[in-house]
Amino acid sequence: MAFDIETESDFEFSRYTTFGVGGKCLKAFFPKSIEEAKYIFGELKTARTRFVVLGRGSNVLASDRFFDGYVISTLRLKGIEREGDSITTLAGTNVSELLEYCTLHGLGGLEFLAGIPATMGGIVAMNAGAGQKFICERLTKCAVFDGELHNFENKMCGFTYKHSTMRDINCIILSSTFRIEQSTPECVANRIAQYRCARRNQPLKRSCGCVFKNPEGKSAGKIIDECGLKGTKVGGAEVSRMHANFIVSDGARAADIYALIKYVKEKVFERSGIPLEEEVVYIGEFDDSDC
C-alpha cells in the first residue's frame, strides 16, 4: 500500500453509530488526509468491493448482521481553514469543532448546526438543517471524489430537503466550503446557546435524531403522535414519549429498531393515509424476518 492508512479489523458499527447498534464489517479504513481518502476510495472502487463512507454515524441504522464489505470512516479527516468570508472544513471535522472555531474567531452563519452530533461531510451529504435553515444555504462548493476529483459548485450538488446528489453517486465528500459573516465571539456564542436551548425537548437516549422526513411541510413527529404511537415498543426500541419522530434505544438490536420503523410506517398509513419516508440511512441487510 502506498499509504500507511490506519485500519480497524474489528470494526463494529455499534461503536461508531449514535444508535449504538450494528454488527461487524470486513475492515474499516481511517484516512487522515485527502490523499489517503482518495487512495483508499480508488482502491476499493477499482476492486469492485462493497463499501460505505461513514461520518459520525448519527443518521444510520446498521444491520446486526455481518456487513460483507468495508467502511471508509472520515473521523480522522479533520481540518478547518478560513479565507475571507469563506470557511473550508475537511469531511471529518465535527460540527462542534467547527462551531468552537467560529466562536473563537467571531464568525457567524453556521450556528444553526449547534447540537447536531455529526461530521461536516455527513451534514453536506444529508443537507442537514435545523430551525428552517439548511446547510445548502451556506455551502458554496465541495470537493467530491468518485474515482476522479470534482469541484462541485452549490447548484451542482442537487440539494433538496434532507438530500443531495452526493447520496446518489458512489462518492466521498472530501471538503466543503461555506459562506460566513464577520460577527463577534459573544454574538456567535449567544446564537449557539439559543439553538442548543431549542433542543431541550429532544430525548437524551441513543437515537439517530429524526427517523422520518417531514412529509410536505407537515411534522412527521406530530403525525406519529396523532396516530397514538408515542411509547410503542419493539424489544429495546421505543417511539420516544418526548418527541415522536425519535426512536430511542434502550439496549435495542438493529432488528428491533427496523421492526419498529416498519410498524410506525404501516400504522401511520393505515390511520392517516400519509406515507412516511425514512430520513435514516440503512447499512447492510434487513428483511421482514427482522420484524
Ligand X SMILES: Cc1cc2nc3c(=O)[nH]c(=O)nc-3n(C[C@H](O)[C@H](O)[C@H](O)COP(=O)(O)OP(=O)(O)OC[C@H]3O[C@@H](n4cnc5c(N)ncnc54)[C@H](O)[C@@H]3O)c2cc1C
Binding footprint of ligand X on the chain (CB under 6 A): 18, 52-60, 74, 91, 116-119, 121-123, 125-126, 128-130, 166-167, 171-173, 207-209, 281
73 DSSP β-pair partners: 54
Nearest-approach distance from CB 118 to ligand X, in angstroms? 3
- Using the minimum distance from each CB to ligand X, give the nearer residue, 195 or 255: 195
- Read off φ and ψ for residue 252, nearest 5 degrees: -75, 160
Nearest-approach distance from CB 124 to ligand X, in angstroms? 7
3-state secondary structure of 143: strand
- In the DSSP assignment, the letter for residue 239 is E
- Closest alpha carbon to 189 in 110, 278, 91: 110
- Using the minimum distance from each CB to ligand X, give the nearer residue, 40 or 123: 123
Q: Count of H helices and E strands in the chain? A: 6, 18
- Using the minimum distance from each CB to ligand X, give the nearer residue, 130 or 242: 130
Strands ordered across the beta sheet of 86-90: 80-83, 86-90, 172-179, 139-145, 149-153
- Using the minimum distance from each CB to ligand X, give the nearer residue, 183 or 246: 246
CA distances from 247 to 44, 200, 277 (A): 33, 16, 14
Nearest-approach distance from CB 236 to ligand X, in angstroms? 17
Nearest-approach distance from CB 223 to ligand X, in angstroms? 18
Nearest-approach distance from CB 53 to ligand X, in angstroms? 4
- Using the minimum distance from each CB to ligand X, give the nearer residue, 52 or 110: 52
